[in-house]
Structure 1
Amino acid sequence: MQQVLQRSRAQSSTELVMGDLLSCDDCRRAAEGVSVVYHLAAGMEKSFAGAFMNSALATRNLLNAFIEYGQPKRFVSVSSFAVYSNLSLKRGALLDENCPLEDNSQERCDAYGFGKLKQEQLVREYGRSHNLPYVILRPGAVFGPGKRELNGRVAINTFGFLIQVGGSHLLPLTFVDNCAEAIVLAGLKAGIDGEVFNIVDDELLTGRQFLRLYKTKLEQFSVRIPYLAAYGLCLLWEKYAKWSKGQLPAVFNRRRCAAEWKGNRYSNQKLHERLGWTPRVPMQQAMAAFLSQFESKVEDR
């Protein structure tokens, strides 16, 4: 963070507070006198207890400190597409801010999504009970330099090779710079309190297109499984997990399969119209920046 501040020449006008959001004292130090909070922290633990503690409880501490010691004008909570459930949507249907939320994170084996759902619930609750202005943002698949691993929506890196489900499905991509621009605007734009915004870029790629570009830089064997076949395999995995009484958790299940690979369309219309957002970096340039962190196959040889 210090290096970023130095590069942007903002160090002299910025106070850096280091701490733990599970500490009420640290939250107080961070929130004291602050008018806008951008809350991007989240628990990445695999356990539901850990996700609840580091997403929900940490958010509660920050909200309490902001209300008591800050000068609240807006709380911007950065959530995730992981909160959505598209089980009731048909393939190719539009997934937007009005779509249903996941109601069984345990069955989906998604502790991260569970934590984000609890975080959103807390923010709404504090908005009602404390009259706290807030905005909730749900970024899609954020990518860019510094994040080398593939998103599971593109392919799963397991058993020593890549497995891609489907391939024709659109990816809810957002380049890191474009996502950051939307987050900043959400704290500054007037008249959007209490609203929810999905963050995806204008020009979206399919899973097949993204993987093909990725493999121009990294030689890695991949196989593609049709979506319906993957859905059936996930059903069998669920049945075996139940038969084994959880000895093999159903980490691959129908809820996850639908959420990541079903093949829906995504809209950023609300982001454009209500926030006045436009992506700074077009997709071709964004992919070039992402791929630049890998050595080319030609150079490797």
Structure 2
Amino acid sequence: MKNLVTGASGFIGSFIAEELVKRGEHVRALVRKTSDTQFLKSIGVELFYGNLDDSASVRKAMKGMDKVFHSAAMVGDWVLRKDAQKTNVGGTRKMLESAIAENIKRFVFVSSLAVLGMRDHKKTPSDAPRIKTGDIYADTKIDSEELVVEYGKTRNLPFTVIRPGFVFGPRDKKVVPKMVEFLSKGKYIFVGSGKNKVNMIYVENLAKAVVDASYSDKTIGQIYNITNESGMTMMDVVNMVADTWGYKKPTKHLPKNVAYFICSILEFFAKAVHAKEAPLLNKTRLKFLSLNLDFDISKIKADLGYSPKIDMAEGMKRTKAWMDKNAK
């Protein structure tokens, strides 16, 4: 089978591409000329230069392909809504139009658990309603997901949607590395009690499930939540990171209301001076740190036989090994 992967020069997409290569499949990656493609070249991925904003390049990239894995998206705590809308929603529409035109056999869309609402969750199932809460990334993922479903229903596109939580592992430069940075300086502070559940997933578990889904007829037209199903709290995760890296476990806590007040002030001034980057403490990051993010993944377990092969502890060890090897 021939596969097109978007976002392949990024974190999640690179693992999807690698998983496909391991299975002996041909992989083509739609990448920008400015993308770091060293790893993709090293594993024999075919590079196609273009971008999601250009319908012509998307169509050309898809020619001759059997399956599409769409993981590219504009992610960040401080992106403009119009930019995210253009790339995430507009780009997805272009991908879908090309998939119909090129008679793609399977379209797998990597979405996010954030589409279920940036709020507290307790075993929220995949068929729960999508909820817009004003978060730019989450809202554009909702719009993108709805487009995928629409094309499936009205244009008979055989799609599958996979919704991961916060993904960690080798090549990640955001989630765990940021925790490690604060722990190394003794500056990590829990927001609230730290007993809120987390929805993390190790990247190789995610990539395997995404590729597995593309082989199964049972997953056509379906949407799945996916996590490592660890049952761990934020405190458990932070303490595991501290133990893995050999740092002291944090003990300080900041009340949620105080944290949100500080966050509001920081964001107000950052916007006033047109800051290019989000404040260290911002609402998006604060939600990850403080919300109870507990999701039901029974559907993907039943339909795909999903079980996280690599547990949280082993995932952290592999993440540390990669970070140590690639430390500057």
TM-score past 0.5 threshold:
yes
The aligned counterpart of 1:122 is: 147
Instruction: Please report the RMSD computed on the Cα atoms of aligned residues, expressed in angstroms.
Output: 3.7
1:164 to 170, 173, 190: 190
CA positional deviation for 1:56: 0.7
Query: Is structure 2 residue 161 aligned with structure 1 residue 136?
Result: yes
CA positional deviation for 1:138: 0.5
Separation in 2, partners of 1:272, 1:11 = 25
The aligned counterpart of 1:207 is: 234
Change (3 A) 1:104 1:121: same
CA positional deviation for 1:44: 2.2
Q: Which has the larger radius of gyration?
A: 1
CA positional deviation for 1:40: 0.6
Separation in 2, partners of 1:211, 1:239 = 26
Identity of aligned residues (%): 22
Separation in 2, partners of 1:277, 1:11 = 21
Tell me, yes or no, if the aligned pair for 1:153 and 1:171 is still in contact at 8 Å: no
CA positional deviation for 1:26: 1.2
The aligned counterpart of 1:75 is: 107
Change (3 A) 1:26 1:220: farther
Separation in 2, partners of 1:190, 1:104 = 33
1:28 match: secondary structure? helix
- The Cα offsets for residues 76-116 of structure 1, whole Å up to 9 and x where unpaired, read as 110012212264x57xx2222133423232xxxx3222221
Paired AA for residue 23 in structure 1: D
Separation in 2, partners of 1:36, 1:235 = 47
CA positional deviation for 1:151: 5.5
2:225 to 198, 207, 223: 198
Separation in 2, partners of 1:204, 1:280 = 15
Change (3 A) 1:203 1:9: closer
CA positional deviation for 1:187: 1.2
1:202 match: secondary structure? coil
Separation in 1, partners of 2:23, 2:297 = 31
Separation in 1, partners of 2:177, 2:248 = 15
Q: How does 1:148-187 map to 2 (within 5 A)?
A: 148-150=173-175, 161-165=187-191, 166-187=193-214
The aligned counterpart of 2:33 is: none
Separation in 2, partners of 1:252, 1:145 = 25
Give structure 2 stretches of 5+ with no counterpart.
1-7, 29-45
The aligned counterpart of 1:43 is: 74
- The Cα offsets for residues 168-196 of structure 1, whole Å up to 9 and x where unpaired, read as 22221211110001100121111322211
- The Cα offsets for residues 43-75 of structure 1, whole Å up to 9 and x where unpaired, read as 12511111111111111111111111x223221
Paired residues in the alignment total 282
Give structure 1 stretches of 5+ with no counterpart.
297-301
1:162 match: secondary structure? coil
Paired AA for residue 189 in structure 1: S
Structure 1 window deviating more from structure 2 (206-215 vs 56-65): it is 206-215
Change (3 A) 1:113 1:86: closer
